[in-house]
């Protein structure tokens, strides 16, 4: 009887191993998003929580940049404000329904926009200003951040909510500022400020604490800019100069300060996106040949990974992933731009890594990837019969 049980167990284990191998290969993919009809290029800057919606900019047949929203293989031109020619999308809500960016109006001025249900809304400007641009949006789409001109013509970081655009000011001694990203709940804003000597400084803003300078890398003079923030606002990523004035991707926390994430063998790197829990960072970095490559950095490994090399088996020979601009909250989906050798053009890409930490909890989801599948069963089988001492 016991021999029969072991035989069935081994058979089931073998079947699970084969199924797991097949599932792992199937779940990873790279999708080139293409271009608008008659266009020649596209870039992705944002992705929804489930990886279903990607936003960015793409050239149309006239060579103009247009904001796009991609879903189910279809790239949708979001148009422009009335009378305008150009638009670009930089952020998307968690459910993919709200898109933010900038678009030209009839006067040729850039205006921050919020797009929803087919309608592009001009978010206006700060009092007396004549232009604005939006770069980030909260998870529910209600808070938008970016930069806008004030009455004196200087750029100011703004936070928009319920029709009101708030000037976030500058750091002490600052002349201009820009906001690039906002936490999931819309309460923490990050970006860059310029001091009176023209040096950039990364900042983190909250309603209670105002604008906080994030410092510099060891020996560096410039904090440069903060480009991304974790869901709770505790982890900030971006680019800063080191002691040799080389820009390096950084990851900042209140307890650890600004951490240099390194490069892929070259001198420069910059971080653009971070997962909800702050453990996964993406961006671009130079390799030893000074070529730009998309990277992923994880807290568990503590090292920078070349996404082009890791997922080379999914790419057509000659294709390259050059920069990663955003990552889904669970760390599974990554978007950016690369060279698609099959079409011989630079295109936006969507990388499904097949793994990630899901924000929801499912009974039986042993590895926490948001699915109950063969991988979970295999983990249980390999540990079957174990018990705590």
Q: Give the whole-angstrom CA distance, residue 207 versus residue 223.
A: 22
For residues 351, 357, 362 and 366, what is the CA-based torsion angle, rounded to 10 degrees? 100
Mean pLDDT for the chain?
A: 89
Q: Give the number of other CB atoms < 10 A from CB of residue 165.
A: 20
Residue % of the chain over a pLDDT of 90: 80
State yes or no: pLDDT of 43 exceeds 80.
yes
The pLDDT score that the predictor gives to residue 373 is 57
Q: Looking at residue 389, what is its pLDDT?
A: 39
Q: Which fold has domain 30-373?
A: Neuraminidase (2.120.10)
Cβ atoms of 183 and 139 within 8 Å: the answer is no
State the pLDDT at residue 103: 98
Mean pLDDT confidence for 332-338: 98
Q: Are strands 265-274 and 200-206 parallel, antiparallel or unpaired?
A: unpaired
Task: Say what the pLDDT of residue 385 is.
Answer: 64
Distances (CA, A) of 162 to 79, 105, 143, 178, 190: 23, 22, 8, 20, 20
Which is more confident, 168 or 27? 168
Residue 290 backbone zone (phi > 0: left; psi -120 to 50: alpha; other: beta) = left
pLDDT for position 165: 98
pLDDT of residue 364: 56
Specify the range with the lowest mean pLDDT, choosing from 88-102, 237-251, 351-365.
Answer: 351-365
Q: Which pLDDT value is given to residue 384?
A: 62
pLDDT digits (tens, 9 = 90+) for 22-34: 444 448 999 999 9
Rounded to whole angstroms, the Cα distance separating 376 from 351 reads: 23
Report the alpha-carbon distance of residue 50 to residue 95 in Å, rounded. Answer: 8
Give the residue-averaged pLDDT of 157-162. 98
For 251-282, b/e burial (b = at least 16 CB within 10 A) is bbeeeeebbbbebbebebbbbbbbbbbbbbbb
Give the highest mean pLDDT range of 20-29, 52-61, 215-224, 359-368. 52-61
Cβ atoms of 9 and 16 within 8 Å: the answer is no
Phi/psi at 130 (nearest 5 deg)?
-130, 5
Task: List the one residue out of 162, 321, 180 whose CA is nearest residue 239.
Answer: 180
pLDDT at 205: 98
Q: What is the pLDDT of residues 208-257, one digit of tens each?
A: 999 999 999 987 776 689 999 999 999 999 999 998 889 999 999 999 99
The Cβ of residue 336 has, within 10 Å, a number of other Cβ atoms equal to 27
Q: Is the predicted pLDDT of residue 21 greater than 60, yes or no?
A: no
Name which of 4-8, 76-80, 264-268 the model is least confident about.
4-8
Give the pTM: 0.86
Confidence of residue 295 (pLDDT cuts 50, 70, 90): very high
């Amino acid at each position: 009887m016991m021999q029969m049980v072991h035989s069935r167990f081994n058979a089931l284990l073998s079947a699970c191993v084969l199924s797991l191998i097949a599932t792992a290969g199937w779940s990873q993919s790279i999708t080139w998003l293409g271009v608008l009809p008659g266009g020649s290029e596209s870039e992705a800057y944002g992705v929804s929580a489930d990886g279903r919606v990607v936003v960015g900019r793409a050239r149309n047949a006239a060579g103009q940049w247009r904001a796009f929203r991609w879903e189910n293989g279809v790239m949708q031109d979001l148009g422009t404000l009335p009378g305008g020619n150009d638009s670009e999308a930089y952020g998307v809500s968690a459910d993919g329904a709200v898109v933010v960016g900038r678009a030209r109006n009839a006067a040729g001025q850039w205006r921050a926009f919020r797009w929803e249900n087919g309608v592009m809304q001009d978010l206006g400007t700060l009092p007396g200003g004549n232009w604005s641009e939006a770069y980030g949006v909260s998870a529910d789409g209600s808070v938008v951040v970016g930069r806008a001109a004030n009455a004196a013509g200087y750029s100011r970081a703004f936070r928009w909510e319920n029709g009101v655009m708030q000037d976030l000011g500058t750091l002490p001694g600052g002349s201009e500022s820009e906001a690039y990203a906002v936490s999931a709940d819309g309460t923490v804003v990050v970006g860059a400020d310029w001091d009176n000597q023209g040096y950039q400084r990364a900042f983190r803003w909250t309603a209670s604490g105002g604008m906080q300078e994030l410092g510099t890398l060891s020996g560096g003079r410039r904090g440069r800019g903060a480009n991304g923030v974790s869901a709770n606002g505790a982890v900030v990523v971006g680019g800063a100069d080191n002691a040799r004035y080389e820009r390096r991707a950084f990851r900042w926390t209140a307890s650890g300060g600004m951490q240099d994430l390194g490069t892929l063998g070259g001198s420069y790197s910059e971080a653009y996106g971070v997962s909800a829990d702050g453990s996964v960072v993406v961006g671009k970095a130079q390799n030893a040949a000074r070529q730009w490559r998309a990277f992923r950095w994880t807290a568990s490994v503590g090292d920078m990974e070349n996404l082009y090399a890791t997922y080379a088996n999914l790419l057509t020979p000659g294709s390259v992933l050059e920069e990663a601009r955003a990552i889904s909250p669970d760390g599974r989906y990554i978007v950016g731009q690369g060279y698609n050798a099959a079409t011989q053009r630079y295109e936006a890409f969507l990388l499904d890594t097949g793994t990630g930490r899901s924000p929801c909890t499912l009974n039986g989801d042993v590895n926490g990837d948001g699915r109950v599948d063969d991988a979970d069963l295999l983990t249980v089988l390999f540990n079957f019969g174990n018990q705590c001492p």
